[in-house]
Chain A
Amino acid sequence: MITAERKPLDEILALVGDKKKVLVAGCDTCVAICLTGGEKEAEILAAELRIKAEQDGREVEIEHTAAIRQCEWEYLDMIADKVEQADVVLSMACGIGIQSLAEKFAPRLVMPAVNTNMLGMPQEHAVWLERCVACGECRIGLTGGICPVVRCSKSLMNGPCGGSHDGLCEVTGPEKEEIECAWALIWERLKAQGREELMFADRPPKDWSKSSSGGPRKMVREEAKPV
């Protein structure tokens, strides 16, 4: 799912500025599941903002709401009344939801209250690990179901670098935690599958134009378009 983390309060306050009517808009899909931007978290942020305003002696009206999904026009209709009364909307959805909201209600001010950070897998309750970067050309069929683009620190596509030892990467994570070498994992998985030869097979170069470096992407399913 798409994961996000709430921005620091000071940054949110700076985005709100001196606006009087603030709506905190949560999204009850991905960001609710990662406990960052659902209705519950929107209510908490709204309460924080009211406490802060009261402390600073500012007269503001702060409300909260949540759309089932902020990234779909139909669900945005359901929160339109509240959005249209606000001077600024603080969206707690992922970047897609924030932009959908901003586009639907343009030129109304819509500000991000979260940083969208990854496409993550919940490894255990309250822990998410990055598993995909939506590169547009999936190769994990050749790599034992393990993505080297996201799990190799260097996104190497053709085997490990010289910095891998005992199955660990020479790079450490942000909390100094060890990172498993993706190519060591791939090798072990391919061995377990009896498909080691894939390690040595020719692979055409990956087409990175299908990734975000090729400009904004668009997907159209003609067969599913309304008639």
Chain B
Amino acid sequence: MADTDVKTPVAEDGEAVDEAPKKPVDPDFEPEIIVFACHYCAYAAADLAGSMRLQYPSNIRMIKLPCTGKLEVIHLLRAIEAGADGVYAAGCLEGECHYLKGNLWARKRIDHVKDLLTELGIEPERVEMFNMSSAMGAKFAEVATEFTERIKALGPNPVKRAGVDAHAAAREALGGAAMPDDPAPSAATSEEGHAT
């Protein structure tokens, strides 16, 4: 009840405020960000970003999915509940989903999660949907950087608890829907690293 500093996600004056931080940004705050990445595009784009030696923040932790259409509202909520400071899904470009409309479903579900977070008094900007192709390594790095900056400006998730691993919780919530991580996620990974 007393912690009014983390509430009010929308400005009272009706002006479109763009993620204006309600409190000073803590320069030492390193957010934990969960990325639900589609196997066909964003996950491959991340590989490409690595091969291109592009820098992006180490705050993001990926979970690979066969399609972002596999994501459900509860998966995103579980990540937030477990203390993730930000969560985003990265799916194929609109119109290019390998399962036709999975990325469009994901966007709708993420919009719904934004509504639920607003209802809870948590900033809806903590969840987002992005689209990219597997050839867009630079876009992957750019999105990761911009989203990390956005979450740094927002500050920590108000329900963060010590000792809870948001990545593990999100993975557990997904169960068999999440794909195993590739064996060696370093830049040295061979091209055909997506076996299982």
Q: Which of A's residues lie within 8 Å of B, judged by CB?
A: 8-9, 40, 43-44, 47-48, 50-52, 54-57
Contacts and interface: CB of A to CB of B under 8 A. Distances in A.
Interface of B: 1, 3, 6, 72-74, 77-78, 80-81, 116, 119-122, 158-159, 161
Contact of A48 (B72, B119, B158, B161): B119
B161 A51 contact: no
Contact of A47 (B6, B81, B122): B81
Given A47-B74, A55-B3, A55-B120, 15 more contacts: A8-B119, A40-B72, A40-B74, A43-B74, A44-B77, A47-B77, A51-B80, A51-B81, A51-B122, A54-B81, A54-B158, A54-B159, A55-B122, A55-B159, A56-B1
9 contacts: A9-B120, A47-B77, A47-B78, A50-B81, A51-B77, A54-B81, A54-B161, A55-B6, A55-B120
Contacts of A57: 3
A166 B116 CA distance: 41
Contacts of A52: 120
For A52, A55, A57, the residue with the greatest tally of chain B CB atoms inside 10 Å of its CB is: A55
Contacts of B3: 55, 57
Given A43-B74, A44-B74, A56-B1, A51 B159 contact: yes
Contacts of A44: 73-74, 77, 116
Contacts of A9: 119-120
A50 B81 CA distance: 7
A9 B158 CA distance: 18
B74 A51 contact: no
B120 A48 contact: yes
Contacts, number: 39
Contacts of A8: 119
Contacts of B80: 51
List the 6 shortest-distance A-B pairs measured between CB atoms, nearest first: A54-B159, A47-B77, A9-B119, A51-B81, A55-B158, A43-B74
B50 to A, nearest CB: 33
A47 B3 CA distance: 20
Contacts of B77: 44, 47-48, 51
A118 to B, nearest CB: 22
A48 B73 CA distance: 11
A52 B119 CA distance: 10
A60 to B, nearest CB: 13
B164 to A, nearest CB: 10
B72 A51 contact: no
Nearest to B6: A55
A43 B78 CA distance: 10
Nearest to B80: A51
B105 to A, nearest CB: 11
Nearest to B73: A44
A8 B159 CA distance: 21
For A50, A51, A54, the residue with the greatest tally of chain B CB atoms inside 10 Å of its CB is: A51
A208 to B, nearest CB: 40
B114 to A, nearest CB: 13
Nearest to A10: B119
B4 to A, nearest CB: 11
Nearest to A49: B120
A74 B182 CA distance: 47
A35 to B, nearest CB: 11
Nearest to B3: A55
Contact of A55 (B73, B78, B121): B121
Contacts of A55: 3, 6, 120-122, 158-159
